[in-house]
């Protein structure tokens, strides 16, 4: 049950109660920093969009002023923390007060928004999306960008064929937030959450949250002519162990990170496939002890009193990290040539599951259950 905290915040939190519950689990106190990029922060962002969008049905306004933003963001944080979420989400997710305001967008009134934007067309494109096809065809994303551009240009002179200046680009970005809030006001919270998370998943795999540690020791021990394999592999294991303390990754993020690191090593004159030499696997880039890689479209975490927090892991088998070739193309769920090497056949203890949306063959799916002591 959502506890209403009013003060100077007039948002209707109860309208988004189900979404808030999802956010609490996805951003659970101890897991939020490790699930931030792939699950927690996209869900946190979606929740705030939905809360403002649902409240706009009564206020007629799609943004808060800075004072209200401060109080409302504080209230959201208190509600989430009271149910078990991390108490530092604003910092973990790099969320700023301006994210709740209109920023530089010139339109905040719902009626004015609908006079400028073809809202029926927008809802037709974004009322329901296929989370895989949308990332490739971008039907909803194009509709959102078109609506954001229209309201960003509102009131500007000489808008016909206007070039995209840095200022206009910033206005379009800011107006995109209002378009998302409008969508959230026209959909029920659950449907809005599915759409927003589907859109955010399109961007998740384009970035990797891992920070590259210093490669000096690896370059020294694994130079162009490897004379001491044990020493090279020891330095690689030490390097990878630093990555394993950072974050959970999706399978596509791991593929792209492995390729990016491999290309950096090649530029440092390491021409030999040290991944193969040192038996480096894709899951080695993800948070340990689990070695869990999340699906490219990560699902929400779940919670029950018996088993605690659970989430779906993908590719738990020892899939070798591919050494990049000169013709390397970043892995993408839209790229039909993206394949994973040497996938094992499912055994009786693992249920094989074919995910056509990932365009991979025979991925191993299992549920990683982590017991929480409450």
| Four-CA torsion 270, 275, 276, 278, nearest 10 degrees | 100
pLDDT score of 189 more than 70? yes
The residues pairing with 364 across neighbouring beta strands, listed in sequence order, are 352
User: According to the model, what pLDDT value does residue 342 have?
Assistant: 37
pLDDT score of 345 more than 50? no
Residue in the structure block whose two tokens are 């490219």 = 296
Kindly write down the DSSP assignment for every residue of 243-284, as one continuous string.
HTTT--EEHHHHHHHHHHHHHHHHHTT--S-HHHHTT-BGGG
Mean pLDDT calculated for residue range 185-194: 97
Packing angle between helix 166-186 and helix 139-152, nearest 10 degrees?
120
User: According to the model, what pLDDT value does residue 106 have?
Assistant: 95
Packing angle between helix 166-186 and helix 119-126, nearest 10 degrees?
80
**What's the whole-number average pLDDT of the chain?**
83
Local structure of residue 343 (DSSP, 8 states): P
Mean pLDDT calculated for residue range 13-30: 94
| pLDDT confidence bin for 214, thresholds 50/70/90 | very high
- Compute φ and ψ for 273, nearest 5 degrees: -70, 90
Mean pLDDT calculated for residue range 61-89: 95
In 3D space, the residue among 57, 34, 32, 62 whose CA is nearest the CA of residue 44 turns out to be: 32
User: Residues 229-278: pLDDT tens digits?
Assistant: 999 999 999 999 999 999 999 989 999 999 999 999 999 999 889 999 99
The ranges assigned to domains in the chain are 13-205, 215-311
Q: Are 257 and 226 in contact (CB under 8 A)?
A: no
Q: How many helices (H) and strands (E) in the chain?
A: 15, 6
User: Residues 94-137: pLDDT tens digits?
Assistant: 999 999 999 999 999 999 999 999 999 999 999 999 988 999 99
Mean pLDDT calculated for residue range 171-184: 97
pLDDT score of 340 more than 80? no
The residues pairing with 313 across neighbouring beta strands, listed in sequence order, are 366
Report the sign of the C-alpha dihedral through residues 273, 274, 280, 285, in that order. Answer: negative
In 3D space, the residue among 103, 109, 172, 108 whose CA is nearest the CA of residue 144 turns out to be: 172
Sequence-distant (≥ 6) Cβ neighbours of residue 173 within 8 angstroms? 148
Neighbours of 83 (CB within 10 A): 16
Q: Are 192 and 184 in contact (CB under 8 A)?
A: yes
User: According to the model, what pLDDT value does residue 373 have?
Assistant: 32
Residue 363 or 55, more confident: 55
pTM of this structure? 0.84
Residue 91 or 367, more confident: 91
User: According to the model, what pLDDT value does residue 312 have?
Assistant: 82
In 3D space, the residue among 333, 330, 325 whose CA is nearest the CA of residue 360 turns out to be: 333
């Amino acid at each position: 049950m959502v506890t209403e905290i009013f003060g100077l915040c007039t948002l209707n939190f109860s309208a988004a109660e189900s979404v808030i519950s999802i956010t609490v689990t996805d951003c659970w106190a101890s897991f939020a920093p490790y699930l931030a990029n792939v699950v927690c922060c996209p869900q946190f962002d979606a929740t705030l969009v939905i809360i403002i969008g649902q409240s706009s049905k009564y206020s007629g306004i799609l943004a808060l002023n800075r004072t209200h933003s401060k109080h409302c963001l504080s209230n959201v944080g208190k509600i989430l923390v009271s149910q078990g979420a991390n108490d530092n989400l604003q910092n973990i997710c790099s969320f700023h007060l301006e994210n709740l305001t209109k920023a530089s967008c010139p339109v905040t009134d719902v009626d004015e928004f609908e006079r400028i934007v073809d809202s029926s067309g927008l809802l037709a494109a974004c009322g329901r999306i296929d989370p895989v096809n949308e990332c490739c065809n971008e039907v909803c994303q194009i509709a959102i960008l078109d609506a954001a551009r229209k309201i960003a240009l509102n009131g500007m002179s000489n808008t016909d064929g206007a070039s995209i200046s840095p200022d206009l680009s910033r206005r379009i970005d800011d107006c995109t937030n209002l378009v998302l809030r409008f969508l959230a006001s026209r959909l029920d919270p659950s449907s809005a959450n599915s759409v927003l998370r589907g859109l955010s998943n399109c961007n998740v795999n384009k970035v990797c949250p891992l920070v590259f540690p210093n490669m000096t020791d690896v370059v020294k021990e694994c130079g162009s002519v490897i004379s001491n394999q044990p020493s090279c592999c020891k330095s690689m294991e030490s390097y990878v162990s630093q990555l394993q303390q950072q974050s959970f990754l999706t399978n596509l993020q791991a593929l792209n990170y492995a390729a990016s690191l491999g290309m950096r090593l090649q530029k440092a004159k390491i021409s030999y496939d040290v991944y193969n030499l040192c038996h480096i696997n894709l899951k080695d880039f993800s948070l340990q002890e689990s070695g869990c890689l999340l699906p490219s479209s990560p699902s929400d975490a779940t919670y029950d009193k018996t088993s605690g927090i659970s989430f779906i892991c993908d590719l738990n088998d020892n899939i070798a990290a591919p050494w990049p070739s000169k013709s390397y193309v970043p892995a993408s769920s839209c790229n039909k040539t993206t394949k994973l090497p040497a996938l094992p056949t499912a055994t009786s203890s693992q249920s094989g599951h074919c995910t056509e949306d990932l365009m991979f063959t025979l991925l191993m799916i299992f549920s990683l259950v982590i017991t929480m002591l409450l």
